[in-house]
Structure 1
Amino acid sequence: MIWIKGGWILDPSDNTDELGDILIKDGKIAARGIFSQATAESYGEDIQVIDASGKKIMPGLVDLHVHFREPGFEYKETIKTGASAAAKGGFTGVCPMPNTKPAVDSPEMIQKILDIAEKDSPIHIYPVGAITKGQMGDELVDIKGMAEAGAKAFSEDGKSVMNAEIYREAMKIAAEIDVPIMAHCEDKNMVGQGAMNEGAKSRELGIPGISNAVEDVIVARDILIAKDTGARLHLCHCSTEDSVKMIRCARKDGVKVSGEVCPHHFTLTDQDIVEDDANYKMNPPLRSRDDVEALKRGLGDGTMEAISTDHAPHSEEEKSVSIKNAPFGIVGSETAFCLGVTELVESGILTPLELVRRMSTNPCRILGVEGGSLQKGSVADIAIADFDEEYVIDKTEFLSKGKNTPFDGKKVKGRIYTTIVEGKVVYSL
C-alpha cells in the first residue's frame, strides 16, 4: 500500500484543487482526504509513504501522440526507451503512432506492439493503427479487426489520407465502433520541398517554406467529413490560427472534433530559428507569433482540449545536417510538462488544474481509456510534481535515445518527482 502524504491534489475530473493525501491499494485509489497514521494503517499494513509536501498530486499524464519507432527504427527509439522517457515526464500512458516499418496496419501488428509493451514498458501503451495498408493511401486496413485486437485509435500520422472517399469510409467505420480518427493535416500536393514555415525567416535562411494553407485545407476537409459521418475526429499537432478558428466553429456546430497543441508550437515561433539548425525542424513547422498567440487562446478558452508531445526522436547524425535535408521531428516526452508550466501556467493562460486537464483528463476522455482521475476507485495512475522548481533543461540527462531538442539549456519551471502506474512506482527522481 502507498500513502501519498501532504500534497496538493489537482483532480480535473471533479475539480478538486486542495490539500490532501491519497491512499493506494491493489492498484486503485482506496481513499482521498487527510489521514492520520491510524487511519492509513486501517487500510492495510506495509505502508510505503511518499512525502508530497510542497508538491502537487495529479492524475498521470496521457500523451495522445508519440513516435517510439519500434519496429523498424530501433536505433532512434524503442518502446522500452520511449516509455521510460515518458514515465520520467509524468506520463502514465501514451499513444504510439503507426508509421513504423512495417506500419502498424493489421491486427497482428497491433498484437505485436502490445506484446512488446507488456514485456518492456513501465506505462500503458495505447496502440494507434494505420488507416490504409502500408500507409500508402490506397486500401483500408481492417479497422474493426484492429480495434478488437487493441487499437485505441486510427491515424495516417506522418501524412494525410489524400483520397477523400477512402478517408470517408474509414470515418464511417470508426463512427460505427466509436473509436477516434487522429488526423495529421497536411496537403502533400501543396507542401512540396517545404522544410520550415513560409515567411520572412524562411526567405532569410534560404529554406523552402510551408504555408499555413498546407494544414488548413485538410483541417477543413476532415472536419466536413467528420460532420458527414458522425466520426470522432482528433486533429493532431495543430499549428495555425485558422485551425483553432475552424475547430471552435465546428464544435459550436456540434461536430465531434477535438484538437491538440504541442509544447513547441505554443512556446516557439519561426523567428526563434536564428540559424540553420535542424533541431528546430518539425512538422508542422514553428509558425508566426500570431499563430502561437491563437494557439494559446485556444488552450485558454478550452477550444484546444489536449496538449500532446509529437515526441519524434532521431539520431544525432540525422539532425546534424541542414534543415533542408534533415528529418522532421523533435523529442518532447521529458520537456512537455515543464514547458506547459513555464509557458502557460506562469503566464496565467492556464491554472495548474487546467494544465492537468489538458494533459491528463481530457486525453483520457478523447481516447476512451481509464485514467485522468484521482477519485476513489480510480486506477492509481498518478504523477507528483513541483510546479515551482526551477532548473535548466539538459538533453544529456534524457532517457530517450533522441536528444534532438531546441530546448537544451532553457530555464524552466515544473519538475516531475514521481510517476505511479496502477499503484506501482515506475519513476522516482
Structure 2
Amino acid sequence: MLLIKNGRIIDPYSGRDEVADILTDDDKIIKIAENIDAHECCIVIDASGMVVAPGLIDVHVHFRDPGFTYKEDILTGAYAAARGGFTTVVCMANTNPVVDNPETLKYIMNQSKKSPINVLQAASITKGMKGNEIVDMELLKNNGAVGFTDDGYPIMNTAIVLKAMEEARRLNVPVSFHEEDPNLIKSAGVNEGIISEKLGMGGASHLAEDVMVARDCALAVSMGAKVNIQHVSSGNAVEIIRCAKKMGAFVTAEASPHHFSMTEDDVLTYGANAKMNPPLRTEADRMKIIEGLKDDTIEIIATDHAPHSSEEKEKEFSKAPSGITGLETALSVGIKYLVNGGHLSILKLLEKMTINPARLYNLNTGILKENYPADMVIFNPVESWVVNEFYSKSRNSPYYGRELQGKVKFTICRGKIVYEDK
C-alpha cells in the first residue's frame, strides 16, 4: 500500500483542487480523504507543498523500437517518460519495420510489458507509411493498436484519408495526421522566412501545414470520425481548426511544448536542436497557439518526443534530422511558459496533459478517483532546476542548460513508485 499525505490534489476530471491524502492498494486508488491514518505496511510519501495530479499522458512519442534503438528503445523511453511525470504514452508507428502488421505490433507490446509505465502503440494508417493503401485497421485494433497515424509523413491521397476516417469512425479509434504538404516545402525543419534566408535555405512555409489542415478538417466535418491534428505550429491552422469545431467537426489538436515556448529565432541559438517538422515559426504563430490552448481549440499538449544521436544532430543544419526530445522537460516548460506566463491555470495545463489525451484514446486513466488506476505524478510547482542530464538515450534538446520551473518529485504507475527525484 502507498499513502500520499498532505498533497495539493488537482484532478482536472472532477475539478478537485484541495489538500488531502490518497491511499492506494495494488494498482488502484482506494481512498481519498482529508486525513488517512497510515497502516504498518504503508509506504508514506509526504507531499506537503507539492501538487498531486493524475499521471501525465503523452499521445505522441517516438521510442524508435524496433529498428533505431541506438536513439531510444522502449525501456529507455519509458524511464525518460517516468522522469517527466508521464505514466502513459502512445508510440508512433514509424519504426523499422513499420507498425502496419500484427507481428511488429506484438513485438512492441511484448517489450512494453517490461516497462515501468503504460506504453501503448499506434499503428500506421497506410501500408509501409507510403500513403497508397490503407492497413487492415480492424485486425490491428484487435491486436492491440489504440489508434492510427502515419506521423512523419503526410497522406496526400485524399481518398485514402477519407477511407481511413470512415474506418476509424466504425471502430471508434482516433486517426492522427501529420499536416505538411511536401510540395510546398523547399527545405524541412526551419520556417520559410527571415531565419531560413539567413541560413541560405528555402524553408517550410506555413502554407504546407495550412492546406493540409484545411483539407482534413473539411473531411472531418462530414465524416464524424475522431480526427487528431498533430503538433500544430501555424497560427492560421489554429484558426482553421477553430472554424471546423464551430461547424461540428470531431477534431482535436495537439500543441508541442517547443511550439508554444520557442520561435524560429531560436534556430540561430540552438542550431539543429531546434530543427523539427513542422518547424518553429514566428512569435505571432506562437501566440496564436497559446490562444488556441486558452480557448480549447487545442485540447492536448503532446511532446513529439523524437530522439536522435549526437552524431546525427551535430551534422550541418541542412543534413541533420528533424526532431527533439521532450518527455523530461514538458511539464516544466508548460509551467514556465503557460502557467507562470499567465496564460493557463495549473488545473488547465494538467487537463491538457491528462484527461483530454485519455479521452482521445478512450483510456480509463487520467483521473484521480477511488477505484481508478493509481497513476500519479507528484511535483513541486515552484522549484527551479537546470536541465543537465537525461534518462533518454539521446540529448537533442534545446532546453539543455536552461533553467525551468516545476520539478517532478515522484511518478507512480499502477501503485508503484517508478521515479523518485533524489
Instruction: Give TM class, smaller chain.
Output: over 0.9
Residue 25 of structure 1 deviates from its aligned partner by 1.1
Is 1:413 the counterpart of 2:405 in the alignment?
yes
Report the 3-state secondary structure (helix = DSSP H, G, I; strand = E; otherwise coil) of the residue aligned with 1:248. Answer: helix
2: CA distance, partners of 1:210 / 1:408: 25
RMSD between aligned residues? 1.1
Whether the 8 Å CA contact 2:267–2:275 is kept in 1: the answer is no
1: CA distance, partners of 2:79 / 2:159: 39
Match of 2:93 among 84, 98, 101: 98
Residue 108 of structure 1 deviates from its aligned partner by 2.2
Match of 1:47 among 19, 42, 47: 42
2: CA distance, partners of 1:140 / 1:112: 21
Which residue does 1:118 correspond to in 2? 113
Which residue does 1:19 correspond to in 2? 19
2: CA distance, partners of 1:302 / 1:223: 16
Which residue does 1:243 correspond to in 2? 237
Query: What CA deviation, in whole Å up to 9, does each residue of 1:68-95 have, x standing for no partner?
Result: 0000001000001001100000000001
Residue 424 of structure 1 deviates from its aligned partner by 1.0
Which residue does 1:148 correspond to in 2? 142
In structure 1, stretches of 5+ residues that fail to align are none
Which residue does 1:356 correspond to in 2? 350
2: CA distance, partners of 1:276 / 1:80: 28
Match of 1:66 among 41, 61, 64: 61
Is 1:254 the counterpart of 2:254 in the alignment?
no
2: CA distance, partners of 1:274 / 1:67: 26
**Residue correspondences, number:** 421
Which residue does 2:393 correspond to in 1? 401
Is 1:286 the counterpart of 2:251 in the alignment?
no
Report the 3-state secondary structure (helix = DSSP H, G, I; strand = E; otherwise coil) of the residue aligned with 1:23. Answer: strand
Report the 3-state secondary structure (helix = DSSP H, G, I; strand = E; otherwise coil) of the residue aligned with 2:273. Answer: helix
2: CA distance, partners of 1:159 / 1:376: 41
Structure 1 runs (4+) deviating above 6 angstroms are: none
2: CA distance, partners of 1:8 / 1:68: 32
Give the letter aligned to residue 92 of structure 2.
Answer: M
Whether the 8 Å CA contact 2:61–2:305 is kept in 1: the answer is yes
Match of 2:208 among 180, 191, 214: 214
TM-score, normalising length from structure 2? 0.98
2: CA distance, partners of 1:225 / 1:129: 21
Whether the 8 Å CA contact 2:188–2:277 is kept in 1: the answer is no
1: CA distance, partners of 2:268 / 2:209: 24
Whether the 8 Å CA contact 1:194–1:207 is kept in 2: the answer is no
Query: What CA deviation, in whole Å up to 9, does each residue of 1:80-133 have, x standing for no partner?
Result: 1001100000000001100000000012222111011012x1111110100111
Q: How does 1:12-411 map to 2 (within 5 A)?
A: 12-37=12-37, 40-41=38-39, 45-119=40-114, 121-274=115-268, 277-394=271-388, 397-411=389-403
Report the 3-state secondary structure (helix = DSSP H, G, I; strand = E; otherwise coil) of the residue aligned with 1:203. Answer: helix
1: CA distance, partners of 2:42 / 2:175: 43
Query: What CA deviation, in whole Å up to 9, does each residue of 1:349-408 have, x standing for no partner?
Result: 1111111100111110111111111011111110000000011111xx200011001111
1: CA distance, partners of 2:68 / 2:41: 43
Distance change >3 Å, CA 276–CA 340, structure 1 → 2: closer
Residue 259 of structure 1 deviates from its aligned partner by 0.4
2: CA distance, partners of 1:103 / 1:126: 15
Percent identity for Structure 1 against Structure 2: 45
Whether the 8 Å CA contact 2:146–2:173 is kept in 1: the answer is yes
Which residue does 1:3 correspond to in 2? 3
1: CA distance, partners of 2:59 / 2:412: 18
Match of 1:422 among 410, 414, 417: 414
Whether the 8 Å CA contact 1:29–1:376 is kept in 2: the answer is yes
In structure 2, stretches of 5+ residues that fail to align are none
Whether the 8 Å CA contact 1:5–1:53 is kept in 2: the answer is yes
2: CA distance, partners of 1:223 / 1:277: 33
TM-score, normalising length from structure 1? 0.96
2: CA distance, partners of 1:80 / 1:36: 35
2: CA distance, partners of 1:48 / 1:275: 45
Give the letter aligned to residue 30 of structure 1.
Answer: I
Residue 230 of structure 1 deviates from its aligned partner by 1.5
1: CA distance, partners of 2:215 / 2:362: 24
2: CA distance, partners of 1:367 / 1:314: 27
Whether the 8 Å CA contact 1:67–1:96 is kept in 2: the answer is yes
Give the letter aligned to residue 25 of structure 1.
Answer: D
Report the 3-state secondary structure (helix = DSSP H, G, I; strand = E; otherwise coil) of the residue aligned with 2:252. Answer: strand
Give the letter aligned to residue 323 of structure 2.
Answer: G
User: Which range moved further: 60-69 or 132-141?
Assistant: 132-141
Give the letter aligned to residue 160 of structure 1.
Answer: P
